[in-house]
Chains A and B, each alone.
Chain A
Amino acid sequence: MQSLVNWIDRVDRRVIYALIFICLFIPLVRPIGMPVGISPTTQMAFDKINSLKPGDIAILSPDFTPGTEAENLSQTVVFAHHLMSKGVRIIGLSMRPEGIMYAERVLTQLAPEYGYEYGKDYVVMPWKAGGESLVVAFAKDFQGTYPEDFWGKPTKGTLVNDVKSINDVAVIICMVTGDEMQWYLRQVEAIYKVPVTGGGTAVTIPGLMPFVASGQLTGVLSGLKGAAEYEKLIGKPGRAAAGMDAQSLSHIIVMLFIILGNVAHFYNKKKNKARRAN
């Protein structure tokens, strides 16, 4: 027993790495199909997008970097699918130079599936420096802040013509890995009352929950699970659903090792106590 406890206590980290690798790899190759329920925050975000009418304008803002692509890109794709299926016109923009590449890629790839036409149904804005100041600037004057699109062509004559004030935007959807969601909440939702929703990596969600509770954030997708839940709601299982099995199994392995570590810890503690007593 002692040798087993010692092995657990001093298990080589490569064993843990190998097990995590197996748990991530197998479900990606052969999905298990674990059940996915719908959390209240995902339902709120879905209901908000579902309430939009054809012709409404939405800002789709993927504010993430490739590091969190697994979570945030899946969220961007499901929101884009839902918006396009509703006939909502989309403005893709981002506070991050990498994010704008995702906006362009997702919208351009999905546009033919829904018969979306560039300029009329969707546009992509270029990246600009400024961070939170940029949000303030385009909330005050969208057309003045973005006179040209991602391709360097004038935005005049596109759907941007209809954004005379930020209140012409029905919803802002932000996929976030940093503070950008708070920028939209502080500078657009709080001042102009434009609804904000979106998604965040699982680690950013605790910081966003107070805004959901206050009603400022109209629901939020929590990491890969949130995206998988949304895929289920729109009936389009995709990359998030496929990744959920891998994430679930890797979480189980982490929990299993934490339990084993604690068993070994308590066993040794008890043994040391008995030794001291003798």
Chain B
Amino acid sequence: MFWKLSAPVLLTFIAGSIVLFNFFVKMPLAESLAGEMLRWDIIVKAFATALGAANLLRIHSRKVQGKDQRTKLLSATLLISMAIYTAIGILKGHQSDLYQFYFRNLFTPLSATMFSLNAFFIASAAFRAFRVRSAQAAVLLVTAFIVMLGNTGIGEAIGKFVPSSKDWVMAVINTAGARGILIGSSLGAIAISIRVLTGLERGHLGGVE
């Protein structure tokens, strides 16, 4: 129980307190300890990246052995691509022409294509879903129109008031709303951090209450 529950809570408390203390109080010892904690954090995150890759490998290796032909093909493509890209990176280095070729001519166009499809889906979805069914929907629609028109050259051609209205919506209405969300989420983050530091929140330890 100690190694599963108390030890991680104690470690979290010590590490978190050092970094927090260093943020408010400038002391050489706290500075060097916090710096060390940050270096560890970077190393742990590097391992997390490797863990993510290993997990991807595990999940898709299972899918390749499955019965669904379509999933099999897609998972096999992923695994082969992953293996080739990793091999090029390790053997030739990420600065090599081959690695850059793979990135520029395969990864970039594929990724950009996936994102570009959004333009078509959003156009179709906006047409079907953006109906004025209530006063709130009407406000949303008018605001969206102002911002969209303000982001186009046509808005500029109609008159200076269009981009000015868009700038006003973004700087006043949007900022007020976004600031509220930001402050709310920050307060939530502070609260959850205190709970983690004091050991009240233990979900990250595998759901042990």
Within 8 A of A (CB), among B6-25: none
Q: Are B38 and A136 in contact (CB under 8 A)?
A: yes
Q: Are B178 and A206 in contact (CB under 8 A)?
A: yes
**Given A261-B128, A261-B131, A265-B131, CB of A34 within 8 Å of CB of B122:** no
Which residue of A has the minimal Cβ distance to B93?
Answer: A152
Report B115 CB to chain A, min CB distance, Å. Answer: 4
Which residue of A has the minimal Cβ distance to B162?
Answer: A37
Q: Are B119 and A24 in contact (CB under 8 A)?
A: yes
Report how far A137 CA is from B43 CA in the complex, Å.
12
- Which of these binds chain A: B56-64, B76-84, B149-157? B149-157
Q: Are B145 and A255 in contact (CB under 8 A)?
A: yes
Report how far A152 CA is from B95 CA in the complex, Å.
9
* Chain A interface mostly: helix
Which residue of B has the minimal Cβ distance to A265?
Answer: B131
Q: Are B132 and A262 in contact (CB under 8 A)?
A: yes
Q: Are B112 and A69 in contact (CB under 8 A)?
A: yes
Q: Mark B141-153, 1 if CB is under 8 A from A, else 0.
A: 1000100110111
Report how far A249 CA is from B93 CA in the complex, Å.
43
Point out which of B49, B103, B151, B163 has the most chain A C-beta atoms below 10 A from its C-beta: B151
Q: Are B112 and A66 in contact (CB under 8 A)?
A: yes
Interface: A110 (CB within 8 A): no
Interface: A134 (CB within 8 A): yes
Which residue of A has the minimal Cβ distance to B41?
Answer: A133
Interface: A81 (CB within 8 A): no
Within 8 A of A (CB), among B118-177: 119-120, 122-124, 126-128, 130-133, 141, 145, 148-149, 151-154, 156-157, 160, 163, 167, 170-171, 174-175, 177
Chain B hits for A202, CB < 8 A: 151
Chain A hits for B93, CB < 8 A: 152
**Given A66-B107, A101-B100, A141-B35, CB of A16 within 8 Å of CB of B120:** yes
Q: Mark A9-38, 1 if CB is under 8 A from B, else 0.
A: 001010011001100100000001011110
Which residue of B has the minimal Cβ distance to A214?
Answer: B179
Q: Are A258 and B167 in contact (CB under 8 A)?
A: no
Interface: A234 (CB within 8 A): no
Report B102 CB to chain A, min CB distance, Å. Answer: 11
Q: Are A223 and B151 in contact (CB under 8 A)?
A: yes
A207 contact from B35, B100, B178, Cβ within 8 A? B178
Q: Report A's interface with B, CB cutoff 8 A.
A: 11, 13, 16-17, 20-21, 24, 32, 34-37, 39-40, 65-70, 98, 101, 104, 128-131, 133-134, 136-137, 140-141, 150-152, 202, 205-207, 209-210, 212-213, 222-223, 225, 244-245, 247-248, 250-255, 257-258, 260-262, 265-266
Q: Report B's interface with A, CB cutoff 8 A.
A: 35, 38-39, 41-42, 45-46, 48-49, 93, 95, 100, 103-104, 107-112, 114-115, 119-120, 122-124, 126-128, 130-133, 141, 145, 148-149, 151-154, 156-157, 160, 163, 167, 170-171, 174-175, 177-179, 182
A67-B111, A101-B103 known, 11 other contacts, Cβ within 8 Å: A20-B119, A34-B157, A37-B160, A129-B49, A133-B45, A207-B178, A210-B178, A213-B175, A251-B154, A254-B148, A262-B130
